Structure 1
Amino acid sequence: MKIQNLEDLSAFLQVAETGGFSGAARRLQVPVSVVSKRVARLEAALGQRLFQRSTRAVNLTEEGKGLVPKVQRLFGDLREMEEQFANSQDLKGPIRLTMPWGLSQGPVAKILTEFRKKHPLVEVQVHFSDALEKLVEGGFDLAIRFSTMEDSSMVARRLGPNYLKMVATPAYLKKHGTPKTVKDLKAHPLLMIPQHRMRKFQKSGVTLNELQSTPSVITNNGLFLVEIAKAGGGIAIRSHWDVVDLLKRKELVEVVVNDRLESSNDAYIVTPSNRYMSPRVRALMDALVEEFPKFLKTEPN
């Protein structure tokens, strides 16, 4: 038996983790035919079939299942060795980050800008999606998610709490009056995404949906709702990091009534694996965890 190079083992591991040759090819940035050739070469060297292939699926054989943890340990040891001797000032290479559209404005852009100043050879590829993208299959290194993180296969670090705030322009409130109680909100268009309709006020238990008696704009784009509020179209209900800069600039002001909305899920930075994280990905994850809370208030009003 003679394994010719690590590329064959890498191709095998990528197919095993992504569940297919196409996913492995995307992660390795090579044609599918190259991945297939490398896996076939490894199977020939080992004298064992590692995958059962069909037109619909690729499944590991028992021999393949036994090989996966061994190869993972091998590449984990190699990465740890590289990290041990790596100069953090010379980090380079791509990082693929996915996060919700709601974070396209706010602290993340500022953090990434400062990170790039320190590590100009790192290319950060940002993908926006409100869907829960599959990290391994999509080839993502990191994801920012609003979740309780029930998926034990993911490694997550908390970025901060997610408080909902009600905001409007000073001109709108001057013209239409400032609500003082939960019931007062019925007289105003409430701008919210569908996911927030059943959000309750903590003391009364009243939902935002029960207060939506005035016709409003319906959309799944929270940033668009902020723009509607800025144009004087009503009171927007948004996560505090979506509006923190606008509140500081006094373009919007917070509407505070006699009850407080329950908070949404906290924000987390998520990665498929902590053991095999490259130095550049670890550096960005550390930067987000350290800097993200500095842009936010730690307590709701």
Structure 2
Amino acid sequence: MDDLQAMAVFAAVVRLGSMSGAARQLGMTPSAVSQRVRALEAAHGVILLHRSTRKLRLTEVGQRVHAHCEALVHSAAQAREQLQLARDALEGELRLAAPVGFARHVGPALAPLLAQHPALKLRLLVDDQMIDLIEARIDLALRAGRMPDSSWVARRLCSFGWSLCAAPAYLARAGMPQRPADLAQHEWLGGDTRSEGGLMIELTGGDGAVERLRVEPRVVSNNQLTIQQLCATGLGLALLVRPDADDDLRAGRLVPLLSEWRLPTVPVWAVTPQREAQPAKVRHALAALQAVLRQLPGSAD
């Protein structure tokens, strides 16, 4: 590494014709420049420059070496340009992972970026299972809920509210629950919690009273969209993320239950595999996703 730095200093001396000129360009003192060149010569047992009080002259060896040192400096400059481009240019492939429920929001969020930057590509991996970011070479992943401890970097984008829902057909058959205790008597659909004891429901009333109960879902799936679809067919009650359920609620395919009781919110995270400065494609995607997600019904900062 010392050789490389000394070669760059030597190239600057020859290019600018003096130690003082090289020192000004490199932000060094003339004596430091001279020492670097002498150290390069001493390390390899050659003389690169004949020095006098008035001028410098390349030796035969110096002429041959100088061409390669200039090529080295040029290559380093090109490498810096590529690094700058990778940091600032919206190009290359953005590999993004998202749960099924989030996937429909990715298009509206990223479509303007893709339209404005033709060199930017998108590879979207949609799966409710946790994807290994390193193995799948993921640049950015959307996650919801509590984040486990890991070396990955999580940035909170927003939070989503839950909606307790059922289809009109189910309510016509089983009746409308009037209070939290009634929920235990109903059929339930739920996500795969991977824990015994069923699904924990926590509701907070207007007076601050908290009601907790545990229910055992009749139907379990790791796919929230499937749970929502089954709920809309009338199979039972389900806790659904409000932005996902909004269309069905507006259309009357689902009905909100116990609206005077509040449910906890679920945080939404953007996860990246490293802490270093992110390239432009990731930074701009993050900003675009956050802007769209925060505008969804039931979303909050």
The amino acid across from 1:279 in the alignment is A
Name the counterpart of 1:110.
Answer: 108
Measured in 2, the distance between the counterparts of 1:174 and 1:75 equals: 70
The answer to whether structure 1 residue 82 and structure 2 residue 85 are counterparts is yes
Q: Which of the numbers 213, 220, 227 marks the counterpart of 1:218?
A: 220
Q: Which of the numbers 134, 137, 143 marks the counterpart of 1:136?
A: 134
Cα 1:172/1:152, change in 2 over 3 Å = closer
Cα 1:223/1:85, change in 2 over 3 Å = closer
Measured in 2, the distance between the counterparts of 1:136 and 1:96 equals: 11
Name the counterpart of 2:297.
Answer: 296
Structure with more of its chain in strand, by fraction = 2
Q: Which of the numbers 262, 265, 268 marks the counterpart of 2:264?
A: 262
Name the counterpart of 1:71.
Answer: none
The CA RMSD over aligned residues, in Å, is 3.2
After superposition, where does 1:138-177 map in structure 2 within 5 Å?
A: 138-149=136-147, 151=149, 153-177=151-175
Aligned residues: 219
Name the counterpart of 2:286.
Answer: 285
TM-score, structure 1 normalization: 0.61
Measured in 2, the distance between the counterparts of 1:114 and 1:254 equals: 34
Name the counterpart of 1:187.
Answer: 185
Measured in 2, the distance between the counterparts of 1:133 and 1:184 equals: 38
Q: Which of the numbers 246, 249, 255 marks the counterpart of 1:247?
A: 249
The answer to whether structure 1 residue 207 and structure 2 residue 209 are counterparts is no
Name the counterpart of 2:40.
Answer: none
Measured in 2, the distance between the counterparts of 1:98 and 1:81 equals: 26
The amino acid across from 2:232 in the alignment is K
> How big is the shift at 1:197?
0.7
SS in 1 for 2:138: coil
The amino acid across from 2:190 in the alignment is M
The 8 Å contact of residues 293 and 299 in structure 2, kept in 1 or not, is answered as no
The amino acid across from 1:132 in the alignment is M
After superposition, where does 1:57-76 map in structure 2 within 5 Å?
A: none
The 8 Å contact of residues 160 and 298 in structure 2, kept in 1 or not, is answered as no
Cα 1:130/1:85, change in 2 over 3 Å = closer
**Greater Cα shift, 222-231 or 76-85:** 76-85
The amino acid across from 2:168 in the alignment is P
The percent identity for this pair of structures is 28
The amino acid across from 1:254 in the alignment is P
Q: Deviations over 1:117-152 (max 9, x none)?
A: 333432211112333333233211001112444647
The 8 Å contact of residues 180 and 258 in structure 2, kept in 1 or not, is answered as no
Measured in 1, the distance between the counterparts of 2:151 and 2:289 equals: 21
Q: Give 5+ residue unaligned stretches, structure 2.
A: 5-76
TM-score, structure 2 normalization: 0.61
Measured in 2, the distance between the counterparts of 1:270 and 1:240 equals: 22
Q: Give 5+ residue unaligned stretches, structure 1.
A: 4-73
Name which one, 1 or 2, has greater alpha-carbon Rg.
2
Cα 1:252/1:125, change in 2 over 3 Å = same
